[in-house]
Amino acid sequence: MQGSGRTDSKVHALGQVAHFETTSTLPIGRIQQALNAQVPRSISVRACADVSMEFHACHSAIGKRYLYLLAVGPDRPVLRPGLVAWERHPLDLFAMREAAQFLLGHHDFAAFAARGGSTQTTTRHLRSLHIQRIRGGFMFSFAADGFLYRMVRNLVGSLLEVGKGRRAPEWVEAVLQGKDRSRGGVTASPEGLYLLRSLYLSNPFDSSFAEDKESLS
- Residues annotated as catalytic are 8
Other Cβ atoms less than 10 A from the Cβ of 189: the count is: 18
Phi, psi dihedral angles at 175 (to 5 degrees) = -65, -45
Cα separation, 126 vs 147, whole angstroms: 9
Cα separation, 21 vs 4, whole angstroms: 15
143's enclosing H/E stretch is strand 137-144
User: Is the CB of residue 21 less than 8 Å from the CB of residue 56?
Assistant: no
C-alpha closest to that of 122 among 151, 148, 100: 148
* 145 dihedral zone (left: phi>0; alpha: psi -120 to 50; beta): alpha
C-alpha closest to that of 91 among 134, 138, 128: 138
